Chains A and B, each alone.
Chain A
Amino acid sequence: MGEMEQMKKEAEALKTQIEAARKAAHDTDMASAASGVAPAPRVQLKTRRTLKGHLAKIYAMHWCTDNRLMVSASQDGKLLIWDSHTGNKVNAVPLKSSWVMTCAYAPSGNLVASGGLDNMCTVYNLKTPVIKTVKELDAHTGYLSCARFLSDTEVLTASGDTTCALWDLETGKQKTVFLNHVGDCMCLSLSPDMNSFVSGACDSLAKLWDIRDGQCKQTFLGHTSDINAISFYPGGNAIITGSDDCTCKMYDLRADQELITYQDAALNSGVTSLALSMSGRLIFAGYDDFNCNIWDSLKGEKVGVLSGHDNRVSCTGVPPDGMCVCTGSWDSFLKIWN
């Protein structure tokens, strides 16, 4: 038997074992377990702000930890920093490459980052008298789909080259490369304790990684297409994913499997983005069909819709204080709802 055949056989045997172990732990599902829980109230949120300023599709947005400022990225070649309370633009950062796919705000509020088809993550300092490029993180061999700051000195990136990476902002070099996906990495989310992160990829898998030792610890199966969005649950023991297969799923890290799928026969558009309300009770999921659907995370039921965009909702975000949800769209507008 060739080596390849042997590897395949071994892989199949291990997968069967894992499936059996998961099945043995599967003594119920979330919908049944939460059958006694009162349903979340019907959620009717109003548009409080429509932020106009971008001239092309918006691809990403990220809240600052101050619950007020946010950064958005558009293929008009700009990052815009907004004061969400007044609706005013605070800063505009022109990008070298207009093919941007992600943006991020550092927890300190001092730095923002962007990246996309240039395969690089560029970091900017907002606090210098004139906004300066601090570093260009250049080593990925595929597009940059997502970036997140751990601090002013470390950044995590996800790339179309199938890897994620941890970068040192002082040297501009990769400290750790996370390699295990076999499809483009599309999204990542940091755990609340910052010791691990999860990634979603076009191989339809979500993976849990240890930031410090670089190892993949767990793999979550179930989706049947690209995972475009992923988020850790506030408690840190579960994750939510959103996929081109039109569903969102909650996976528990300790049970190592799916607890519930959020889907509706009438929904046949892919999920582009998602964000959780502060307690985790509500999931705001952006879809290709121009809407953002609101799901009750415990009951698996749709409890509301945010309609108002004239094109795909490409990004969603809830600030740390949970006071609103922001949606960004290919229609070039951002909306703030509560």
Chain B
Amino acid sequence: MPVINVEDLTDLDKAKMEVTQLKIEVKLERAKVSKCCEEISEYIQSGADEDPLVKGIPEDKNPFKEKGGCVIC
């Protein structure tokens, strides 16, 4: 891959780069936000039951529970 020297880019180069990129992005097919929200919501909720920081961790299963006795961290 040719070495791109970013410092050599002129304002015109950057403007052309922007237009090239926008031409790619204008063609994107966009899904409805309602559908996306629903899917994300379902995904998260299905995982939340197993999420230790959401449901809490029982003391005996907590690898980070405070050590007893005289321990210097």
Contact = CB atoms under 8 A, between A and B. Distances in A.
Contacts of B41: 30, 33-34, 37, 298
A281 B22 contact: no
**Nearest 4 Cβ contacts at the A-B interface:** A279-B47, A33-B37, A14-B22, A48-B64
Chain B interface extent, by class = 35 or more
A259 B64 contact: no
A96 interface: no
B1 A279 contact: no
9 contacts: A8-B15, A34-B37, A49-B64, A87-B73, A215-B24, A237-B40, A281-B45, A281-B54, A338-B57
B37 A323 contact: no
Contact of A28 (B11, B16, B34): B34
A84 B65 CA distance: 11
A308 interface: no
Given A28-B33, A254-B36, A279 B44 contact: yes
Nearest to A175: B1
A10 interface: yes
A94 interface: no
Interface in B20-51: 21-26, 28, 30-34, 36-41, 43-48, 50-51
A170 interface: no
A259 B33 CA distance: 7
A12 B41 CA distance: 34
A233 interface: yes
Contact of B33 (A25, A177, A180, A325): A25
A25 B65 contact: no
B34 A27 contact: yes
B18 to A, nearest CB: 5
Given A28-B37, A233-B40, A279 B30 contact: no
A327 B38 CA distance: 31
A277 interface: yes
A132 interface: no
B43 to A, nearest CB: 5
A52 B73 contact: yes
Given A87-B73, A278-B50, A323-B52, A4 B30 contact: no
Given A252-B37, A259-B33, 18 more contacts: A7-B19, A14-B22, A14-B23, A21-B30, A27-B32, A29-B33, A29-B37, A30-B41, A34-B41, A48-B62, A163-B6, A177-B4, A182-B18, A255-B36, A256-B28, A279-B48, A322-B51, A338-B53
Contacts of B68: none
Interface string A278-312: 11111000000000000001100000000000000
Interface stretch (A110-118, A147-155, A216-224): A216-224
B26 A21 contact: yes
Given A14-B23, A34-B41, A141-B5, A3 B53 contact: no
Interface string A165-192: 0000000001111011010000000000
A272 interface: no
Nearest to A238: B40
